[in-house]
Amino acid sequence: MTAEQLTLLTPSDLRALRIVCKACRGSITMQLDETIPRLDECPLCHANWRQPPAHRALTATEALAAALKAWLSADREASPGYSVQFEITPPHP
């Protein structure tokens, strides 16, 4: 017999979005119920975080933040008629 640990995240488990700069390792944390600002550079070391877009398209991070906010809002309103959970790899001892 094999035992498996399953770890699931639901909307209520999510509190904030943290972005870590690859240049200085500094981080910025933004609450998901607030407006997520467009960040073109690290607020600490000013390293460039994006290529200059030809047409101000959303970055993957901005799209993810918007999707998470919509997911949290739908979960609070109990719609749609299903729930979404993320399955994550459990921490290794």
pLDDT in tens, 18-53: 889 999 999 988 887 777 777 788 889 999 887 665
On whether the pTM is more than 0.85, the answer is no
Locate the domains of the chain by residue range: 15-82
Q: What is the 3-state secondary structure (H, E, C) of 45-72?
A: CCCECCCCCCCCCCCHHHHHHHHHHHHH
pLDDT (average), residues 5-14: 81
Which tokens hold the place of 7? 């770890």
Residue found by looking up tokens 């017999």 in the block: 1
pLDDT of residue 80: 67
Query: Is the confidence at residue 75, as pLDDT, over 90?
Result: no
Long-range contacts of 48-56 (CB under 8 A, 24+ apart): 49/21
pLDDT of residue 76: 78
pLDDT of residue 26: 93
pLDDT of residue 28: 87
Which tokens hold the place of 53? 């877009």
Residues 6+ apart with CB under 8 A from 39: 19, 28, 49
